[in-house]
Chains A and B, each alone.
Chain A
Amino acid sequence: MKPNNERNMMTGSKIIIESLIKEGVDTIFGYPGGAVMNIYDELLNYADKINHVLVRHEQGAAHAADGYARASGKVGVVLVTSGPGATNTITGIATAYMDSIPIVILTGQVPTNLIGNDAFQEADTVGITRPCTKHNYLVKDVKNLARTIKEAFYIASTGRPGPVLIDIPKDITSSVCEFDYPEGIELRSYNPTYFGHHVQISKVVKELLNAKRPLLYIGGGVIISNAAAELKELAELFDLPVTSTLMGLGGFPAEHSLFFGMLGMHGTYAANMAISNADFIIAIGARFDDRVTGKVEEFARNAKFAHIDIDPSSIGKNVKIEIPVVGDVKAVLNSLLEMLSTKSKEISSTQYDRLKWLEDINIWKYEHPLSYEMNDVIKPQYVIEKIYELTEGSAIISTEVGQNQMWAAQFYKFNNPRTFLTSGGLGTMGYGFPAAIGAQIACPEKTVFDIAGDGSIQMNIQELATAVQYNLPVKIAIINNNFLGMIRQWQELFYKKRYSFSEMNVNPDFVKLAEAYGAVGLRATKPNEVEDVIKKALSIKKPVIMDFVVAKEESVYPMVAPGAPITGMLLV
């Protein structure tokens, strides 16, 4: 062993930061506290290498890291203290877990000798986060710190990605040991399958060539695996119609003639009719969520399914799959394209049926397009269409949850991956604004919008201070109907208009609120003011809140009642 003065001795705190730098981390979203004070002290020495973003609530840190990860494809990093610092991140971690987003959360912990003692600011963080992380660690020896960080980044970003948490007791951050960052990694029990099985893929080819009414049903996996280009090639090669889940939006250009919109509870008429009438469906990185399938027994009853997914447990979970293909979407699509490239002529036998099929879907599309009626009050859909127009479809859009989310999904046309950030799985109100902050930091040159409701924006409004502090020009468009709109809509449709606690009787003056934080507040109360407000917001290089006072009782249509088959759409 080398003498101490020749070895690369470091404190745990320094090891943590050096390890993060080795992983290519340049941004941390965090909030200091007692158990992480050593790490924070060390962080000051790295101000030129690591941009630490001080949030105003730890939940904001987790969502911001998530938004950063979704927009950039990189791993988002969170640093918070023990006890309440850790528990405050739980909603953010669970959100990332449900949507398979790679983030690494570093939580402080009380010193090892106090663990289990009900010490000040102690919580069983590893126990609490076990069901909502892909994996988690408690580091009990400083010698394991570097390796643990290496593993955490590897696990978070490979296979089906997800959040990984590392709980670090305070004494570990001050202990000293040699820093030697592992080069490679070997995890015996973790080996995700990337390349699909040749035999399975050839079965997909065969079915695809024989299908008369084929359909591609895409999900978030297309975006996670950066497979938008391969998907487009496949769709165009055989003129395959495409429908997407909420999470898949942006994975295929919305303005493409083969795209028929989102399917499911608030899906388009064309998408829901197409999936119900298709004879062969390739599910690509999607997981047959109940909001997509409606009554699962009646979902796509006429179809055979192929399902491409990196997570075997997603395949056959809700719907019987004839051709499972376990693998990374991008890798599998590349193999599929390679096999298909030699077969393009064999398609002729079903060509006539396929043309007819595309015509049918187009008829559905023109019979019942997404629509709304204009009058003298602002319609939420109009606001979103205007945002789309004025940003020329190039903005990153995050959403909160509820009507604002569904209208954004329906009326903003997402042509590029990683431009739509929304909590699809957990459905977290309060996600959108901090996620927009993370996305703006990841993509400083882009216009970032949070499409919010008056209810959900108040769940993480404190992050306005963060946006102002770091001069992030995030635009918040509040679709303000003084209601928890989606709750109100359900109460209207299924509870005889008994509006139980869904009205926001008291809301702040959002314009004044923005000003109080040092941001800019704008308001539109009439349709003809909408465009000017958005234009003005776009011209201001500061965080802006736009308060759009919209029709109070507008609903999202089409809508499928929960538990009903998705062909049973309420259209307007």
Chain B
Amino acid sequence: MEKTHILSILVENEAGVLARVSGLFSARGFNIDSICVAKTLEKNESKMIITTSGDTQILEQITKQLNRLINVIKVQELTDEDSVVRQTVLIKVNADETTKSDIVRIKDIFSGRIIDVSRNSYTLEVTGSERKIESLIDILRPLGIKDIVMTGIVAIQRARKLN
């Protein structure tokens, strides 16, 4: 069954490694729904978080193909149950006298921040799960979204709970 998967890929921090990974996805017909890359605490390593979709067989192939790349150190699938998944969105939304207080209330509900204000717009910063971001967008859409920027998804495995 087609499903979204989050892959955490530890790679050597070398020139061209992003091109190797993204090239592999396009060459083999896999999708990248979102991608986030940044350094880790280790000097020579980077972590990529890629969200992709496909059935389990496709996921298995993606994982195996990624492992074939010489610069890939480790590939791990992160599931909703055992990991924390976050995305950040910056939204510039129309704001007039009648809607400003609504926007502030929405911001509070979504535990966001207002990071920029002008005479006729507010810019919100909200972090949360993909679903939370989607519902925020749904709620703000009637007010008129002037601009929107999203990060890709980042995710980290939860610490093991002691029973």
Which residues of A pack against B, CB within 8 Å?
Answer: 126-127, 130-131, 134-135, 138, 155, 187-190, 311-313, 316-317
Contact = CB atoms under 8 A, between A and B. Distances in A.
A126 B67 contact: no
B16 interface: yes
B73 A189 contact: yes
A138 B60 contact: no
Given A138-B15, A317-B61, A189 B72 contact: yes
Among all A-B residue pairs, the 4 with the closest Cβ atoms: A313-B64, A189-B73, A135-B70, A312-B64
Contacts of B73: 188-189
A311 B57 CA distance: 16
A367 to B, nearest CB: 38
A189 B68 contact: no
B47 to A, nearest CB: 14
B68 to A, nearest CB: 6
Contacts of A131: 23, 27
B101 to A, nearest CB: 53
Contacts of B61: 313, 317
Interface string B41-70: 000000000000000010011001101101
A130 B70 contact: no
Contacts of B15: 138
A189 B23 contact: no
B71 interface: yes
Contacts of A312: 64, 67
Nearest to A159: B68
A138 B16 CA distance: 10
Contacts of B162: none
A178 B85 CA distance: 49
B12 interface: yes
B23 A130 contact: yes
8 contacts: A130-B16, A188-B12, A189-B12, A189-B73, A311-B68, A312-B67, A313-B67, A313-B68
A131 B65 CA distance: 12
Given A313-B64, A316-B57, A316-B60, A130 B71 contact: no
B113 interface: no
A130 to B, nearest CB: 6
Interface residues of B, number: 19
A190 B60 contact: no
A152 B83 CA distance: 38
A135 B69 CA distance: 8
Nearest to B26: A131
A311 B67 CA distance: 10
Contact of B70 (A126, A127, A189): A189
Interface in B1-28: 11-12, 15-16, 19-20, 23, 27
Given A138-B16, A189-B72, A313-B67, 13 more contacts: A127-B16, A127-B19, A130-B19, A135-B70, A138-B15, A155-B70, A188-B12, A190-B70, A311-B68, A312-B64, A312-B67, A313-B68, A316-B60
A155 B71 CA distance: 12
Contact of B71 (A127, A189, A313): A189
A187 B70 contact: yes
A186 to B, nearest CB: 13
A334 B61 CA distance: 28
A312 B23 CA distance: 20
B70 A313 contact: no
B69 to A, nearest CB: 8
Nearest to A326: B64
B16 A313 contact: no
A312 B19 CA distance: 22
B77 to A, nearest CB: 15
A126 B68 contact: no
A516 B19 CA distance: 47
A311 B73 CA distance: 16
Contacts of B19: 127, 130
A135 B65 CA distance: 13
Q: Of A311, A313, A316, A317, which is in contact with the most chain B CB atoms at under 10 Å from its CB? A: A313
A77 B3 CA distance: 45
Contacts of B64: 312-313
B50 to A, nearest CB: 17
A353 B70 CA distance: 47
Contacts of A313: 61, 64-65, 67-68
Contacts of A130: 16, 19-20, 23
Contacts of B70: 134-135, 155, 187, 189-190
